Structure 1
Amino acid sequence: MSEHLASIFGTEKDRVNCPFYFKIGASRPDIITPGLDSLGNPIPPKQLQQHFGDLYEDLFEELSKYGEIESLNICDNLADHMVGNVYVQFSEEEHASNAFKNLTGRFYAGRPIIVDFSPVKDFREATCRQYEENICNRGRYCNFMHLKKIGRDLRRHLFGRYRRSYRSRSRSRSRSPYRHKS
């Protein structure tokens, strides 16, 4: 056991001492390649984007059961340690704990959900800036997050509910001279 620990010390396999893990919150599991149908044929881009929008909405609805979501990021990378990674940031730590507790041991699309708290505090630091500028020469095998984007309408639909509820709470507070604890 000590030989094994010594052999992985400071590498990507060593979550405790790997600086890269703390930057992007991922290690290298074995996962299948996305973007292919059940026969291994590529899925057309338009159909893939529609599927992604459906997936994003499904995940958002499920995760919203545990609390207010500040951000939901899904990696578009193909590197083994990044493919299939979903990062959700809740507005409250207790919401994240509740999601962790309730999602552990569950399955999505027949595959186990592997839940972990991420050490990432700022997703901008973990995101590939070159990808955002469409100049990443490592492509989808880059070691930094290539975050798949959703359409503006879907974003407004999903995240707009929080703005509306926040606005309505703000208005009700501004009209009342008293503050109420919920």
Structure 2
Amino acid sequence: MGRHSEWRKVAKKCRRSRIRRLKAQERDTLLEEEELENLKSSIYLTWKKEQEALELFARVEEERIREEVNKKWIERELKAQEEWRESQEKIALFKAEKAKQELLIREEWDREQKKIKEIEKKNLQEKEAREQRESEFKQRVEDFISGVSGELPEGFRTNVETRPDKELCPFFVKVGACRFFDNCSRNHVKPAVSKTLLLNNFFSHLSMDNKSVREYDTDMSLEYDDKEMYKHFLDFYDDAMPELRSFGKVIQFKVCCNLSPHLRGNVYVSYATEREALKAYYALMGRYYGGRQIRGQFTKVPLWSKALCGLFLRKKCPKGGTCNFLHVFRNPTSEFVQADMDCEEHKRDESCSRSTISSKRLANSSGGDEKLLRLIRTLTLIYSCFTC
């Protein structure tokens, strides 16, 4: 059954092929006969010549158009190649310029790096030299403080001046502080080391704190009387003096109760020697007291009788807390009375000698009446302030 169907397919295919060949032969025969008939017609011959002429013209025109197109293409190609060549030259020039710039930048960077390394090396050497000098200087200072060396290190004998070409500030000369601070138009001479140490704003009390006044907009000083403030000072005295005496012999101690910022709470401490003052300075700086960091500097007070406000001692100062002279608390002991009257070895005068001798005689004769002795010393201090 399968073979017969395959045979039928092949037979049908052959039959269709045979029919197509026969039709093609018939068509060709008809065309040849038609061609022979047309060749006998003059109209056909004329038309055929026209067609051949048209075909020839079409071929010529096509060739001309092709040549023009080819010519234009060649021109465009040449132009494109020229533009490409110019662009390549520009790119090459740009790359060369860029390479040159990169080379210059690299050379400049190398020089800068070399310079930076030289500067770093120089700074490192200077830092090491500075640290070495500081270490040696610190060692000399420690030797001086401990008593190993008897001479003050070189550099501590110099003074720092804020305006060397100006005249001296009279208030800074007297009390070691000025209400204009370093902005003063006159010259402030600050010693590198002296026997007197000024601790700025070391003593504090709520009635002296201007921040409280600004915060609450009230007169805080009205809530505290002088007795309460003086009691607070006595507590401060008992707290601070043992520590200050641990560094050496204290020959003067004054605590300011001025309200001006440059004098408020300042504490003046004078030692017998510069070694003791320097020891106290290095020991106190950076420490904290009452929640505040201790700040201080060396200063010189030539005459305490001129630095202290004489009217304040009699409670008659018209300027009150804004006075530029020192308003100080009365120390609980009388050990600094001679210093108040400037009765040092190089400043002994006749009035100091008389007051000291009379005080001793009174103490010996009366059995040491302490109250009367304090009264005489206070009157002597007031007298010396007005005479100076």
TM-score (norm 2): 0.33
- Residue aligning to 2:234: 53
Distance change in 2, residues 1:57/1:110 (3 Å): same
- Residue aligning to 2:170: 19
Distance in 2 separating the partners of 1:129 and 1:81:
19
2:225 counterpart of 1:74: no
Distance in 2 separating the partners of 1:58 and 1:34:
15
Offset of residue 95 of structure 1: 0.6
Q: Where do 5+ consecutive residues of structure 2 fail to align?
A: 1-161, 182-199, 337-388
Offset of residue 17 of structure 1: 4.8
Aligned to 2:317, which of 118, 122, 136?
A: 136
Deviations 1:82-132 (A, max 9, x none): 101000111112111100111111111111111111121222111111212
Q: Is the 8 A contact 1:131 1:146 kept in 2?
A: yes
Q: Is the 8 A contact 2:230 2:329 kept in 1?
A: no
Relative to structure 2, which stretch is displaced further, 36-45 or 51-60? 36-45
- Residue aligning to 1:99: 280
Structure 2 letter corresponding to 1:96: A
Distance change in 2, residues 1:110/1:35 (3 Å): closer
- Residue aligning to 2:290: 109
Distance in 1 separating the partners of 2:204 and 2:273:
33
Distance in 2 separating the partners of 1:70 and 1:33:
23
Distance in 2 separating the partners of 1:54 and 1:115:
21
Distance in 2 separating the partners of 1:18 and 1:102:
30
Offset of residue 134 of structure 1: 2.3
Aligned residue pairs total 144
Structure 2 letter corresponding to 1:49: Y
Q: Is the 8 A contact 2:171 2:324 kept in 1?
A: no
* Greater fraction helix: 2
Distance in 2 separating the partners of 1:100 and 1:84:
18
Indicate the percent of aligned positions where both proteins have the same amino acid: 33
Relative to structure 2, which stretch is displaced further, 55-64 or 18-27? 18-27
- Residue aligning to 2:305: 124
Deviations 1:153-180 (A, max 9, x none): xx16x87xxxxxxxxxxxxxxxxxxxxx
RMSD: 3.1
Distance in 1 separating the partners of 2:253 and 2:262:
18
SS at match of 1:115: strand
Distance in 2 separating the partners of 1:33 and 1:138:
21
Structure 1 letter corresponding to 2:291: G
Deviations 1:2-53 (A, max 9, x none): xxxxxx859xxx9x95332121111347979844397874324332221110
Distance in 2 separating the partners of 1:64 and 1:122:
22
Distance change in 2, residues 1:134/1:107 (3 Å): same
Q: Where do 5+ consecutive residues of structure 1 fail to align?
A: 1-7, 160-182
Distance in 2 separating the partners of 1:146 and 1:44:
16
- Residue aligning to 2:331: 150
Structure 2 letter corresponding to 1:80: P
Offset of residue 76 of structure 1: 1.3
More relative contact order, 1 or 2 (CA 8 Å, 6+ apart) = 1
Distance in 2 separating the partners of 1:134 and 1:44:
14
- Residue aligning to 1:43: 224
Relative to structure 2, which stretch is displaced further, 74-83 or 116-125? 116-125
SS at match of 2:281: helix
